[in-house]
Chain A
Amino acid sequence: KAGVTQTPRYLIKTRGQQVTLSCSPISGHRSVSWYQQTPGQGLQFLFEYFSETQRNKGNFPGRFSGRQFSNSRSEMNVSTLELGDSALYLCASSLVRGGEDDEQFFGPGTRLTVL
């Protein structure tokens, strides 16, 4: 079974630009969560989507947004990039059984560098 895939794997942008990252979950998984990982703050939750609806959101500014498509694929967008947005952006998918937390399986991440 194929794992979670993320594209692109590496991205270099300049301040003020916007960026869109893509995530394809494991086949059959309906929940997609996004996390930001930095050396200083560690792994921080951005948001989670299930059935094309955002169910949960972390403490990030409105410049960070996302969406989920009917095939469960997800995208996240960051507008007006700042230097501090440089990070590894991780996507995780889970099955969702009976409303309980399921194991989240992570993709390899997208390394975003903002210059």
Chain B
Amino acid sequence: EDQVTQSPEALRLQEGESSSLNCSYTVSGLRGLFWYRQDPGKGPEFLFTLYSAGEEKEKERLKATLTKKESFLHITAPKPEDSATYLCAVSSMFSGGYNKLIFGAGTRLAVHP
């Protein structure tokens, strides 16, 4: 069964303190791995898509990387506005079709001044 596990569940950082979020996945034929950010009471906001091991993508203070078993979301010198829940999702080549995302439970990030 396809599965996504994110760790830690919650993370508290001081402003400027860099860290990484982990997303481990088990999927039959990875089609793509997606990172989203979700603020309270809002829909997830798309961040990155990664398709193959070794791929990396960056956006401002965020950098996502992918291996054959996991993905990392690195946050460099975070600011309070980076506080949110970060969600990881995968799509499988054998899930029965396109655009079916399997989500992890998310990591709640709190960045304090």
**How far apart are the CA atoms of A21 and B26 in the complex, in Å?**
32
A–B pairs, 21, beta carbons within 8 Å: A31-B98, A33-B100, A35-B101, A35-B103, A42-B105, A43-B87, A43-B103, A45-B102, A48-B97, A55-B97, A56-B99, A56-B100, A92-B43, A96-B98, A99-B98, A100-B98, A101-B99, A103-B34, A104-B34, A104-B101, A106-B43
A6 → chain B, closest Cβ, in Å? 8
Q: A43-B44, A45-B102, A94-B99 are in contact. List 7 more A-B contacts (CB 8 A).
A: A56-B95, A100-B31, A101-B31, A103-B34, A104-B46, A104-B101, A106-B45
Question: In which size bucket is the chain A interface?
Answer: 20 to 34
A103 touches B43 (CB 8 A): no
Enumerate chain A residues within 8 angstroms of B45, measured Cβ to Cβ: 106
Query: In the complex, what's the smallest C-beta–C-beta distance from B7 to chain A, in angstroms?
Result: 14
- Closest chain A residue, CB of each to CB of B98: A101
Q: How many residues of B contact A (CB 8 A)?
A: 25
Q: Which 8 A-B pairs have the closest CB atoms?
A: A106-B43, A56-B97, A43-B103, A55-B97, A56-B100, A106-B44, A101-B32, A48-B99
Residue in contact with A33 in the complex, picked from B36, B46, B96, B101, CB distance below 8 Å: B101
Which residues of B from 20 to 51 have beta carbons under 8 Å from A? 31-32, 34, 36, 42-46, 49
Shortest CB-to-CB span from B58 to chain A, Å, is 16
Q: Which residue of A lies closest to B43 (CB)?
A: A106
Pick the residue among A42, A56, A108 that contacts B98 (CB under 8 A).
Answer: A56
A105 adjacent to B99 (CB under 8 Å): no
Given A42-B105, A43-B87, A56-B95, are A105 and B46 neighbors across the interface (CB < 8 Å)? yes
Q: At the interface, is chain A mostly helix, strand, loop or mixed? A: strand
CB distance from A37 to the nearest CB of B (A): 9
Any A CB within 8 A of the CB of B71: no
Which A residues lie at the B interface, using CB under 8 A?
4, 31, 33, 35, 42-45, 48, 50, 55-58, 90, 92, 94, 96, 99-109
Residues of B within 8 A of A101 (CB): 31-32, 49, 91, 98-99
Q: Which residues of A contact B100 (CB under 8 A)?
A: 33, 45, 48, 56, 58
